[in-house]
């Protein structure tokens, strides 16, 4: 446990909580959390997760723009449905990404857990993209990914980070409920 991990946990928790509440402030907070975790994952040789933080940085800028454009009449961030074909496409891209990244990190690096790290990183990118596109289903993918992350971080003895991801499972459940409720409220108003 380091000061870097403690700061990363606190800022990440705040960012996810703000995301669940559909607050625009989530984006700069999540960007800072990415920077902190980039350094932490470099230190513990989780290279796919380190690279994921860099990609999350780009995805955060994209999400920030998407949310700014995707507000409803009262200024709230609107929730959009995820069509089944797009969901399957996203999951297929996640699987291909996991295989490609896993092969590369298992063959060319000293990554601690190349296949698990790569799979979780790839599917996290899909979940992040769905979050940026304002799909409530993103939270379901986050729940699945975060459950597996808890196990990986416990194995790597990143206790606080494992605790953060356990809390993020709870936040994802809350986020899913809130976003589904917002979508239902918006449908009733239309």
Q: What percentage of the chain reaches a pLDDT higher than 70?
A: 93
pLDDT tens figures, 72-128? 666 677 888 999 999 999 999 999 999 999 999 899 988 888 999 899 989 999 999
Q: Rounded to 5 degrees, what angle do the CA atoms 92, 165, 57 make? A: 60
The confidence score (pLDDT) of residue 69 equals 83
Neighbours of 171 (CB within 10 A): 22
Helices 47-69 and 114-132 cross at an angle (nearest 10°) of 0
Helices 3-20 and 159-189: angle between axes, nearest 10 degrees: 10
Domain ranges of the chain: 3-189
In this model, does residue 186 exceed pLDDT 70? no
pLDDT digits (tens, 9 = 90+) for 13-42: 999 999 988 899 999 999 999 999 999 989
Return the pLDDT at 87.
97
């Amino acid at each position: 446990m380091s000061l870097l991990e403690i700061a990363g946990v606190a800022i990440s928790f705040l960012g996810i909580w703000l995301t669940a509440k559909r607050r625009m402030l989530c984006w700069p907070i999540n960007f800072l959390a990415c920077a902190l975790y980039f350094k932490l994952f470099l230190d513990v040789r989780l290279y796919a997760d380190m690279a994921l933080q860099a990609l999350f940085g780009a995805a955060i800028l994209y999400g920030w723009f998407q949310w700014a454009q995707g507000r409803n009449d009262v200024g709230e961030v609107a929730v959009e449905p995820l069509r089944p074909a797009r969901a399957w496409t996203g999951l297929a891209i996640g699987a291909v990404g996991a295989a490609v990244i896993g092969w590369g990190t298992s063959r060319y690096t000293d990554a601690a857990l190349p296949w698990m790290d790569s799979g979780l990183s790839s599917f996290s990118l899909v979940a992040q993209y769905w979050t940026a596109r304002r799909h409530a289903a993103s939270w379901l993918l986050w729940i699945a990914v975060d459950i597996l992350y808890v196990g990986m971080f416990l194995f790597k003895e990143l206790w606080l980070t494992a605790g953060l991801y356990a809390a993020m499972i709870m936040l994802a459940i809350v986020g899913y409920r809130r976003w589904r409720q917002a979508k239902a409220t918006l449908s009733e108003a239309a």
